[in-house]
Copies of this chain bind each other. A is one copy, B any other.
Amino acid sequence: MVKVGILNVTGYAGMELARILHRHPGVELVSVTGRSLAGQKLGDAFPHLRAIDLTIAPEVDRSVDVAFAALPYGASAEALGPLVKSGVKAIDIGSDFRLKSVTEFETWYKVKHPHPDLIEEAVYGVTELHREKIAKTRLVANPGCFPMGAILGLAPVVREGWVEPSVIIDAKTGVSGAGRTADAAYGFSELNDNSSAYGLGGHRHEPEMTQELSAISKKGDVSVTFVPHLVPMTRGILGTCYATLTTPRTQAQVIELYKDTYASHPFASVVGKPPATKQTWGNNDCLLYPIVNEKKGRLVVVTALDNLVKGAAGSGVQNMNVMLGLPETAGLESLAIYP
| Contact (Cβ within 8 A) A51 B242 | no
Chain B hits for A282, CB < 8 A = 282, 337
**Chain A positions 172 through 198: 1 when the CB is less than 8 Å from some CB of chain B, otherwise 0:** 101110101111101111111111111
Q: How many copies does the complex hold?
A: 4
Question: How many residues of chain A get a CB closer than 8 Å to chain B's CBs?
Answer: 82
**Chain A positions 223 through 249: 1 when the CB is less than 8 Å from some CB of chain B, otherwise 0:** 101010101111110101010000000
| Contact (Cβ within 8 A) A274 B197 | yes
> In the complex, which of the residues B170, B233, B240, B273 contacts A193, with contact meaning CB atoms closer than 8 Å?
B233
> In the complex, which of the residues B186, B225, B238, B298 contacts A296, with contact meaning CB atoms closer than 8 Å?
B225
Residues on A lying within 8 angstroms of B by beta carbon are 12, 15, 19, 22-23, 44, 46-52, 168, 170, 172, 174-176, 178, 180-184, 186-198, 200-201, 223, 225, 227, 229, 231-236, 238, 240, 242, 269, 271-282, 287, 289, 291, 293, 296, 298, 300, 302, 304, 333-339
Nearest-CB distance from A76 to chain B (Å)?
21
Whole-angstrom CA separation of A280 from B337 in the bound complex = 12
- Residue pairs across A and B with Cβ atoms less than 8 A apart, 8 shown, are A47-B276, A49-B335, A182-B187, A189-B234, A192-B193, A195-B276, A197-B289, A282-B282
Nearest-CB distance from A87 to chain B (Å)?
30
Most buried by B among A23, A50, A271: A50
Chain B hits for A229, CB < 8 A = 172, 238, 240
Whole-angstrom CA separation of A53 from B39 in the bound complex = 46
| Contact (Cβ within 8 A) A232 B192 | yes
A336 nearest in chain B by CB position = B48
Which 8 pairs of residues, A with B, have the shortest CB-CB distance?
A: A194-B278, A196-B276, A48-B336, A282-B337, A170-B170, A48-B338, A182-B184, A231-B231
> In the complex, which of the residues B50, B194, B275, B296 contacts A196, with contact meaning CB atoms closer than 8 Å?
B275
Nearest-CB distance from A248 to chain B (Å)?
16
| Contact (Cβ within 8 A) A231 B234 | no
Chain B hits for A44, CB < 8 A = 272
Whole-angstrom CA separation of A223 from B227 in the bound complex = 21
Nearest-CB distance from A122 to chain B (Å)?
28
